[in-house]
Structure 1
Amino acid sequence: MTLSLTDSPAFSWKFLESYLRRYDVHAARHLELLGEVRSRLEAFDLGRNADRAASFLCDKDVSREGEAAAGSGRLAAAANMAEELERLRYQLLNERAAALGEEDLRATEELDRIYARLVDRRTPDGRRARRLLWNPDFARDAVERLEQSLDPALPLEALTASARRLTEEHFAPESGDRPGKGGRHRVLLYAPLYLSNYCVNGCVYCHFRFDNPMPRIHLSPERAVEEAEYLVARGMRHILLVAGDYPQLTGIDYYVSVVDALRRRFAGQWTVEIAAQSTASYARLAAAGVLGVTLYQETYDLSRYAVLHPRGPKTRFDRRLETLERAAEAGIRRLGLGILLGLAPAAEDARTLVRHALYLRQRFPHCTLAVSLPRLHRPPEGFAVPHPVDDATLVRLYCGLRHALPDAELVLSTRETASLRDYLAGVCVTQLSAGSSTAPGGYGDRAAGRAAAGGEQFPVNDERPVEEAAQALRRQGLAVVWESA
């Protein structure tokens, strides 16, 4: 079927038709999709039916009495169109990634505008990460503060003192959290709960990669509850659910069932660090009670990214880049981002990370940002860390993030040693994992005195029990909290 799309005052349909005919191998189907979308928009005025439009992604039936069946069908059709339109946009970004130019950006931004109208997206600006994150004029002042922090001519003592003052200013403890008159700033303790280490991706630096011979473990929702019991017994109330990317086992239905099981059993805050999901899937997680989504770009260097991620869904750079935007648009309120230090030149990646954080802040001012700098220590056999980062540079990077992003949570995992973690917590870090296992089922193995079955994502360097880590923070006059504000 051949369609010809004429322009409307709102959207450049003719431009998209021309673009797809030239660059899209599936142009016939996608032109048909655009025709259906346009008909839908013209027939169903989203501006006068915001209550229906707001439910597209969650697929809820909110139609009036007497229109329930027809309304449900319309919503389902619109939701399916929205998901297909989103997939088309990422297909084009992926296929054109090597030669992405102004025409490509215009096409993907136009598709995003149409998508936004179709789902009645309420954020004022569209997805423009590709246009802004590598623009040296965007967030220039913040990037300059980062660069000043990395300058070895600036004495480390002066840098850490300034970072400490900013942290105390923006993260003063609540009165009930203060451990006496010496309380300086608050630090959130959390724990990861690994659900599955099955993964179809080929990330060359990761122990979970598909071809790494390791024990593979996948927890049922019931087993996840058992693991959470160990964490809750130690005082944990903020728990990060982590899993590899294996759609056959870890699809959205699985995650929703796990979160439902956990919330029926425990009070607390649940966040996820899982494979990139669609907007509709994030809406389901938000509806299930998920507070936050963490997803690291690993590196913002496109050429290095391609070499480091040779296989699997994670090869799609732009879909990953916009993940946190999809999550926020779907109702997630806490966004975790970061880079994996060691994969690329640290300063270069950190500059783009700062721009990414401020871009997200600009689009979603109501969301909390949590920024992390995990560092590669002991990668899988056969992978040599190409750009190692020493302790002094790590300290400067964290202080630089504090100066560039004064009110962002800064996160540090048990990849690092106890002494370095305690030091950075006293300077600028506001969120620490503690008592962590990075293997599915690891807490139960530890509690039962069993030898670990293997299957860790990365080695843990700070093996202190939760309470010991908490006491070390309190001795510095820091306020330990168990839930985020």
Structure 2
Amino acid sequence: MSAHFVHAPYQDGMEVIDSGIMGRILDGVGRYDPAAPTERDVARALGADRLTLDDFAALLSPAARPFLEAMAVRARAERRRHFGTAVSLFTPLYLSNHCRNRCVYCGFNAANRIRRAQLDLDSIDRELAAIAATGLQDVLLLTGEARSMSGVAYIGEAVRLAARRFALVGIEVYPLNTDEYAYLNACGADYTCVFQETYDPVRYLEVHAAGPKRVYPYRLDAQERALRGGMRSVAFAALLGLADFRKDAFATGLHAHLIQRAYPWAEISFSLPRLRPHVSNAAENAGDVHETELLQVMLAYRLFMPHAAITISSRERAGFRDHAVDLCATRMSAGVRVDIGGHGEAEKGDGQFEIADGRDVGAVHAAIVGRGLQPVYRDYIRT
């Protein structure tokens, strides 16, 4: 895999930063063969005080399967060392499901025949009030990728409303330019999530049939632009199951590692979404990424970047999520709705995918306490 691949051309208005990180990711993944590490390599990685990229690659390989228990023991110790027993709680709020992209794995696909809707500012405020009433202090605002419907000014107003009620406000919207991230940061946004979906550039074009999301490098550089725009935290993820999940997990870790080195003050977070059924494709599944493989990736992330946060989403079943926060995850969603509306007023539009864990905040809180862990609603004071 080369950095010199042919990608969809930049569209008008897209900022080019060309920091060189994309090329280093593609070169690194191109050299990574998941079948190459041996059990000896895995054992060496588990004995290292600080893991190298080669160690990380070994822990992601099939050779690590017999070592999952040892990985879990060390990951749990690292989690306790850096995060104690804290589990940060948050919930997403979907503002709009209008989208210009045609992503084959997504319910918001522009070609899908779904109920489209967008919350106005009064509806957003009612939704936020209902979420705040649960005690949550961290909200993640999401939209489909349609600038013409959910413009930066609209997102900014939603962020301002959220910042009045919540200690932490995140955004998961289409990739933005540096000045746009700076604007949303000034409105009150603290962190941003932009997931690459797959780092395989050939597969990337196959699953992104049309729309601005086809521009691979613009999406990949989004975390850098967000940090340059003042965001203090950025999240990384591949949608596991779209391509070779081991290579995508390696690329995600390498991407986060390179950003951490370039921006040492940045707070780094991982998410691990798997493919889920959605309204237009009930047969969609995560391929060969079963819970054992998902857990292996999570443990490898924890050991490779022990200071990074790891989010376990409501895509996964309750029992798995509860086990994951005990071993390695540090952030957990609760009271999740993935449709448009549904918290403070009636549902208005269809959701992005089906969730597997629909527990409310109280039930998730109780499950965390039952594991001997501490639910955390606020871990940051905005100045």
Do these two structures clear the TM 0.5 threshold for a shared fold by scoring above it? yes
Q: Please give the TM-score of this superposition, normalised by the length of structure 1.
A: 0.69
Deviation at 1:99, TM superposition (A): 8.0
Q: 2:83 corresponds to which residue?
A: 171
Choose from 400, 412, 416 the match for 2:316.
416
Q: Partner letter of residue 474 of structure 1?
A: V
The structure where helix makes up a greater share of residues is: 1
CA contact 1:241–1:271 (8 Å) conserved in 2: yes
Identity of aligned residues (%): 30
Give 3-state SS (helix, strand or coil) of 2:344's partner. Answer: helix
Give 3-state SS (helix, strand or coil) of 2:269's partner. Answer: strand
CA contact 1:146–1:404 (8 Å) conserved in 2: no
Q: Structure 1, residues 142-184: CA drift from partner, whole Å, max 9, x if none?
A: 3523422543453322221111011111112xxxxxxxxxxxx
Q: Partner letter of residue 404 of structure 1?
A: F
Q: 1:482 corresponds to which residue?
A: 377
> RMSD over aligned Cα, in angstroms?
2.3
**For the structure 1 residues 286 and 435, does the alpha-carbon distance in structure 2 shift closer, same or farther, using more than 3 Å as the test?**
same
Q: 2:23 corresponds to which residue?
A: 131
- Structure 1 unaligned blocks of 5 or more: 1-93, 101-110, 113-125, 173-184
1:350-369 equivalence runs, <5 A: 350-369=249-268
Q: 2:89 corresponds to which residue?
A: 189
Q: Partner letter of residue 421 of structure 1?
A: R
Q: Partner letter of residue 73 of structure 2?
A: A
1:8-407 equivalence runs, <5 A: 97-98=5-6, 112=17, 127-136=19-28, 141-148=52-59, 150=61, 151-172=63-84, 185-264=85-164, 266-379=165-278, 380-381=280-281, 384-385=284-285, 387-407=287-307
Q: Please give the TM-score of this superposition, normalised by the length of structure 2.
A: 0.86
CA contact 1:204–1:383 (8 Å) conserved in 2: no
Deviation at 1:378, TM superposition (A): 1.3
Which whole-Å CA distance do the structure 2 matches of 1:342 and 1:270 have between them?
A: 29
Which whole-Å CA distance do the structure 2 matches of 1:169 and 1:140 have between them?
A: 16
Deviation at 1:386, TM superposition (A): 7.2
Which whole-Å CA distance do the structure 1 matches of 2:111 and 2:155 have between them?
A: 24
- Structure 2 unaligned blocks of 5 or more: 9-15, 33-49
Q: 1:473 corresponds to which residue?
A: 368
Which whole-Å CA distance do the structure 2 matches of 1:382 and 1:470 have between them?
A: 30
Which whole-Å CA distance do the structure 1 matches of 2:291 and 2:282 have between them?
A: 24
Which structure would you say has the larger RCO, counting Cα contacts within 8 Å and 6 or more residues apart? 2
Which whole-Å CA distance do the structure 2 matches of 1:436 and 1:384 have between them?
A: 21
Q: Which has the larger radius of gyration?
A: 1
Q: Partner letter of residue 167 of structure 1?
A: R
Q: 2:44 corresponds to which residue?
A: none
Deviation at 1:223, TM superposition (A): 1.0
CA contact 2:241–2:289 (8 Å) conserved in 1: yes
CA contact 2:127–2:344 (8 Å) conserved in 1: yes
**For the structure 1 residues 140 and 472, does the alpha-carbon distance in structure 2 shift closer, same or farther, using more than 3 Å as the test?**
closer
Q: Structure 1, residues 222-260: CA drift from partner, whole Å, max 9, x if none?
A: 211110111110011010000001111111111111122
Aligned positions, number: 350
Which whole-Å CA distance do the structure 2 matches of 1:347 and 1:165 have between them?
A: 24
CA contact 1:148–1:154 (8 Å) conserved in 2: no
**For the structure 1 residues 144 and 385, does the alpha-carbon distance in structure 2 shift closer, same or farther, using more than 3 Å as the test?**
same
CA contact 1:146–1:403 (8 Å) conserved in 2: no
Which whole-Å CA distance do the structure 2 matches of 1:351 and 1:370 have between them?
A: 15
Q: Structure 1, residues 255-289: CA drift from partner, whole Å, max 9, x if none?
A: 1111223334x242111000001111111011111
CA contact 2:89–2:375 (8 Å) conserved in 1: yes
**For the structure 1 residues 269 and 306, does the alpha-carbon distance in structure 2 shift closer, same or farther, using more than 3 Å as the test?**
same
Which whole-Å CA distance do the structure 2 matches of 1:280 and 1:332 have between them?
A: 11
Choose from 415, 423, 426 the match for 2:326.
426
Which whole-Å CA distance do the structure 1 matches of 2:7 and 2:266 have between them?
A: 33
